[in-house]
Amino acid sequence: MVNNARIAVRLAGGFGVIIALLLVLSVFARLKMGTLAELTNQLYLHPFAVSTNLVSAEVDLLKMEKGFRDIVLSVDAETLDRSIADIDESEKKAKAHLDIVAQRYLGNPEDLAAIREELESWKGLRNRVVKLAKAGQKEEALDLQQSQAARQFATIDEKLTVIEEFAANKAASFVEGAEGTANNTYLLIYLLVFLAVAGSVVIATLTSRSISRPLNRAVEVANQIAEGDLKITLPSLDRHDEVGNLIAAFDRMIRYLRDMAEVAGRIAAKDLTARVQPHSTHDVLGNAFATMIDNLGRMIAEIQESANVVASSVGEILATTTQLAAGIAE
């Protein structure tokens, strides 16, 4: 079936297969690149965003803890009010960062809920300390800050550490997944490239052989014909492409030349009954042979006619000579 396809179709089919393999390779690479991009995006949206906002929240909590100590150690109302304002600002920022963490955190939501509860509990403790500080009860405020507030900050820090560790582990899993996807992508791309190259070589080899072998045989036949050898047997090719048409044309040409050679042999054997039927008005050799046979026939007829005339004349001369001889003898 392949041999029946035209050369242009075969070449187009070969290139089509190669292009199809390259398209498969491109689509596969694009899909895997999308997977890597998604993993990178997930890494940025979740573990990275959680980690960075946790760091910012911890900084704000440290500022709140420092402001808490400043409240206890404040010497006047202005310093106290400024410390309270700083704590409120830091608390607002810390809650904003924790809100982002809550949106991006992939772990147990109860982890963040526990931190929020501790912050609310700490806020009540802060109000008590502020009230004591404003009332001038420094020692009571300091004792409350050192005992309960420090413990609450430590608890909050522990819970933040749990979230940080989860985010770090999740980031590691995303990175591991990205690396695994990248490695698998490389291997499969190498495999597809190898298949594309191997397929190209196979297609090129098969196409080249299907074209070159019969063409080489046709060249051999042409060389034999050029040497005058018409005892050639062409292989039977069941193909309908350009090469098959070429071999068929060679076969017709050989049969034609054999017919002409047979006619020439009969003429050489003095057989002028041979007849040549030109294939067309453009059949130079056939027309030449036909004209030559006709001319030879006419020439021989004229020679025979002349010979008959000569024979008749000779007969008349012999008769006359005989009569003259008889007269002389008398």
Is residue 106 in some structural domain? yes
| Burial (CB count <10 Å: 0-12, 13-18, 19+), residue 270 | exposed
In a shared domain, residues 200 and 127: yes
**Residue-number span of the structural domain to which 67 is assigned:** 7-205
Q: Contact 18/196 with Cβ under 8 angstroms?
A: yes
Is residue 217 in some structural domain? no
Please give the tally of structural domains in the chain: 2
In a shared domain, residues 200 and 276: no
pLDDT at position 1 is: 47
* Digit-coded pLDDT (tens) for 301-326: 777 777 777 777 777 777 777 777 77
* Digit-coded pLDDT (tens) for 192-213: 788 878 877 887 787 777 777 7
Q: In sequence order, what are the residues at sequence separation of 6 or more whose Cβ sits closer than 8 angstroms to the Cβ of residue 116?
A: 98
Q: What are phi and psi of 76, to 5 degrees?
A: -150, 170
Q: Which helix (H) or strand (E) holds 101?
A: helix 77-104
Please tell me the total number of residues recorded for the chain in this structure: 330
Is residue 129 in some structural domain? yes
In a shared domain, residues 170 and 278: no
In a shared domain, residues 59 and 190: yes
pLDDT band at 327 (very low <50, low <70, confident <90, very high): low
Last residue of a domain, which of 153, 177, 205?
205
In a shared domain, residues 272 and 192: no
Is residue 94 in some structural domain? yes
* Digit-coded pLDDT (tens) for 32-89: 788 877 877 777 778 888 888 888 888 888 888 788 777 777 767 788 788 888 888 8
Last residue of a domain, which of 181, 205, 229?
205
The model's pTM is: 0.52
In a shared domain, residues 94 and 194: yes
| Burial (CB count <10 Å: 0-12, 13-18, 19+), residue 194 | exposed
